[in-house]
Amino acid sequence: MNGKDDLQELEARFLAEIEKAGDERALEDIRVAALGKKGEISTRMKGLGKLPPEERKSMGQALNALKSRIAEAIAARREVLKQQALAARLEKERVDVTLPVRPEHKGSIHPVSHVWEEVVEIFADLGFSVAEGPHIETDWYNFEALNIPPEHPARQEHDTFYFHRKDDGTRMLLRTHTSPVQIRTMESTPPPIRIIAPGRTFRCDSDQTHTPMFHQVEALVIDEETHMGHLKWTLEEFCKAFFETDSVKMRFRASHFPFTEPSMEVDINCSWEGGQVKVGEGDDWLEILGSGMVHPNVIRAGGLDPERYQGYAFGIGLDRLAMLKYGIPDLRAFFEADLRWLRHYGFSFLQVPTLAGGLSA
């Protein structure tokens, strides 16, 4: 038998099979038949020992060269098959982007987002800009700088979510109100200051009018002459604009906050009949905000001179505003992500609140 002729024939046969292989499986079978442990080329390699020494060398070289040519041919074919498979898949999975969207996927703007925009719009018109602060706060910004020292009873009322203590004994917390933004703003902005800070706040509390995460809008005005009359006027103007009526009844109640002196809370007249909350009727009241003249200690903590500067602050419950204005009786439903609820109370993304165009229209 002429060994070299035999190899040529073998090579021609394998190359033809490789060329014909229609998928990776068929290619793998050919690889095993040629180069696998019991494959034809491997078997011939094993038989080299039986050849006379002068033939052994040239036959060995020829087999090695054949082996690498077959391996290369298989690799090249594999690449071609891969490209073909990809092209076929791309063809099959083509998306027709001109198809109309499915109607059931229409989203809506959450009432809290809508009310947030309404409030920003009203205060922007009054000359306020929007400030922000972090949700995760230090004890200093959330309490101490706001005139609430470590043992102050007001801390208990806040049902604070704390993080684990750090090595130095301090612990971060989820801000219980937006008031820390008062301090951060005084630190970063020279007076006159006129800001609102809408955002998320957190307290460990849950019932019809409380949820562990809720929203507030802080307001801070600091300059040299601002007084209680300005505060009251601002709140009245805000409520008239927000509820889109002149007849909303507000109740100013003397109250106490460590960071304001004097302090007052504001309630809005409403009724809760038949599982519905309605503003401007009945004889119930819903508390919507706390307010007062900024305490001198707070102004000092913010790095300003309380002998020179004074002003007012208030914090409004944004979700409560939404409940009142849009007649939503249970606060907990706001955050349950129930699609039926969202469809019912949500707003179209085209309903951007503007004072000129109407807030809720």
Q: Which residues bind ligand PHE (CB under 6 A)?
A: 177, 179, 257, 260, 290-292, 313-315
Closest CA relative to residue 183, chosen from 303, 308, 307, 289: 303
Alpha-carbon span 266 to 151, nearest angstrom: 27
Of 41 and 186, nearer to ligand PHE (C-beta) is 186
Closest approach of Cβ 290 to ligand PHE, in Å?
Answer: 3
Residue spans of beta strands (DSSP E) within the chain: 129-130, 136-137, 173-174, 193-202, 213-223, 250-257, 260-271, 278-279, 284-294, 310-317
Closest approach of Cβ 270 to ligand PHE, in Å?
Answer: 19
Cβ–Cβ < 8 Å for 260, 295: yes
Instruction: Find tokens 């809008």 and name the residue.
Output: 217
Q: Which helix (H) or strand (E) holds 232?
A: helix 228-243
Of 242 and 257, nearer to ligand PHE (C-beta) is 257
What share of residues in the chain are helix, strand, coil (percent, to 5)?
Answer: 45, 20, 35
Of 178 and 269, nearer to ligand PHE (C-beta) is 178
Closest CA relative to residue 69, chosen from 34, 111, 44, 25: 34
Closest approach of Cβ 300 to ligand PHE, in Å?
Answer: 16
Closest approach of Cβ 355 to ligand PHE, in Å?
Answer: 24
Report phi then psi at 74, rounded to 5. -65, -45
Of 292 and 353, nearer to ligand PHE (C-beta) is 292
Closest approach of Cβ 216 to ligand PHE, in Å?
Answer: 6
Of 18 and 179, nearer to ligand PHE (C-beta) is 179
Provide the 10 A C-beta neighbour count for residue 329.
14
Closest approach of Cβ 230 to ligand PHE, in Å?
Answer: 14
Alpha-carbon span 336 to 323, nearest angstrom: 15
Of 216 and 269, nearer to ligand PHE (C-beta) is 216
Of 44 and 263, nearer to ligand PHE (C-beta) is 263
Closest approach of Cβ 252 to ligand PHE, in Å?
Answer: 13
Amino acid at 180: P
